[in-house]
Amino acid sequence: MSTKFSVPMVSIALLLGAAAPALPAGYPAGYRQVVDGAKKEGKVIIYSTTDTQAAGPLIQGFEAAYPGVKVEYNDMNSTELYNRYISEQAAGGNSGDVIWSSSMDTALRLAADYALQYASPEAKNLPAWSVWKEKAYGTTYEPLVFVYNKRLIAANEVPDSHVALAKLIQSQPDRFKNKVTTYDIEKSALGFMLSVQDMKDDPRYFDHLAQMAKGGLSVQSSTGTMMERVSSGENLIGYNILGSYADARVKTDPSMGISYPKDYILVLSRVMFISSEAQNKNAAKLWLDYVLSPEGQDVLANKADITSIRHDIAGDNDLDGMTKKLGGALRPIPVDETLLEYLEQNKRLEHIKQFRAAVNK
């Protein structure tokens, strides 16, 4: 004879509650709806300029924290990302749920038109300059550096400022002919943004650019290409190189060296926002919050070698650690409307014209 047992409904609820993962510390109880909604959606689509290899540990950490929510990661350069997202929005088709771009100015322009307003529970742990209208969030704290070939540039030659870099090249134009590399500002949205920021921090930027271009610049559209060329000796020096990628490279490449300029160091923060047309809005919120959380930022800092924008991450690869290392030379680029000024067509074309004139002197 079989015996039937009746389990009170309250007990079932308790059992289900016990099985659910705990919410992050300090998050509101209502955040459970975001987690549950993300699991129903099952995925989040990311459009990003951060290469897949660097983002790999972050993706693994997220999928481990939230089983059942898969990351569909699309890695592209900054100009490709911008153009693809714009065209998809115009066509009304499927697109990225989250945009994550190192080209801070074009990312903010997209955010101004397309971002979902979302107050991340992690916003209170970020610098005020890195959050724009609860729509766009700075996620990293990355100095821009010089890289050089250690076999071909002597230790006593390594430039320690933008002025020193310009003087070194000007003093030996034949040696450095087509041997200095930086971004192609017409093909790389990131490169254009950094050129504008250099101009704002250096009153003699175009003069120094002209000195650095003696004999011709070798311009590229990606950091990876520039580092490969410096490592091989095809180029001798690269400038405005993302420090996170350079730091990771020098750990395994004995040919590569890094110099942190003492006059000023631009600091880039990769901008992230959730698309207002996201098909997976809950999963997108979950991803953004994870990236900004202590867990996500620890993965960035200590597994992906990308400096954390938080103060409270273990080790020295966070905002505090970088400040102790480089001090007053750091110039964080704020996530605000000042980024949009040179995206106005006339100003953009004028800046490119001045850049070309300096490079071709």
DSSP conformation letters of 106-156:
HHHHHHHHHBPP---TTGGGS-GGGEETTTEEE-B-EEEEEEEETTTS-GG
Contact 111, 135 (CB under 8 A): yes
> What does the pLDDT look like over 247-273, one tens digit per residue?
989 999 999 999 999 999 999 999 999
pLDDT given at position 15: 41
Domains and CATH numbers, the chain: 26-141+269-317 (3.40.190.10), 142-268+340-359 (3.40.190.10)
Cα–Cα distance for residue pair 214/176, rounded to 1 Å:
8
Would you put residue 216 in left (φ > 0), alpha (ψ -120 to 50) or beta? Answer: left
pTM of the model: 0.89
> What does the pLDDT look like over 139-168, one tens digit per residue?
999 999 999 999 999 999 999 999 999 999
> What does the pLDDT look like over 316-347, one tens digit per residue?
999 999 999 999 999 999 999 999 999 999 99
* Radius of gyration, alpha carbons of the chain: 23
